[in-house]
Amino acid sequence: MIVKLFKVTDYVKARLVNNIGLENWKLVNGLYASLQHMENSGTFWTLWDGDEVVIIAGWHTAWEGVCEVALFPTELFIKNPFPAAKRMKQKLSELAKTHRRVQLNCRSEEKFLKFAKWLGFKYEGTLRKFSYDGYDHVIMSIVR
């Protein structure tokens, strides 16, 4: 497996799971603008297994000392998460050294919560009906 800086075309090649793609969120500035921002920021990466996308992940600064993590898992990741998960845990460890708070929000589903906890995130609260489709999300963080 190899990690490369994210490119907009990676998103097109990714077979994302559970309808979590950005295209479902009716983003104010549109999908392409968000993907361009992810590419231009230099803080998003794609994990490849041969010519298949395993996961797209990255972060953006919310304000000084605080960053929000985004994870876009593919079907391939769900089948075998451990190789990618180890790399992600390393990346999160690096972020936690330079940010006092690393946070994410994810669907309030057991598989997502269990994975986030394994990565080191702690539950902080529920965002009721936060998702574009009305699902609850939870906010989780790593605080140093």
E strand or H helix at 57, and its extent?
A: strand 52-63
The answer to whether residues 54 and 1 touch, using CB atoms and an 8 Å cutoff, is yes
Query: DSSP assignment, residue 19?
Result: T
Alpha helices in 45-101 (DSSP H): 75-79, 82-98
Amino acid in position 65:
G
> Average of pLDDT values for 114-140?
89
The answer to whether residues 139 and 124 touch, using CB atoms and an 8 Å cutoff, is yes
Q: Domain boundaries in the chain?
A: 2-143
Whole-prediction pTM value?
Answer: 0.82
CA–CA distance, 55 with 60 (Å, rounded to integer)? 17
CATH of domain 2-143: 3.40.630.30
pLDDT digits (tens, 9 = 90+) for 4-51: 989 999 988 888 876 666 666 566 667 788 888 888 988 999 999 999
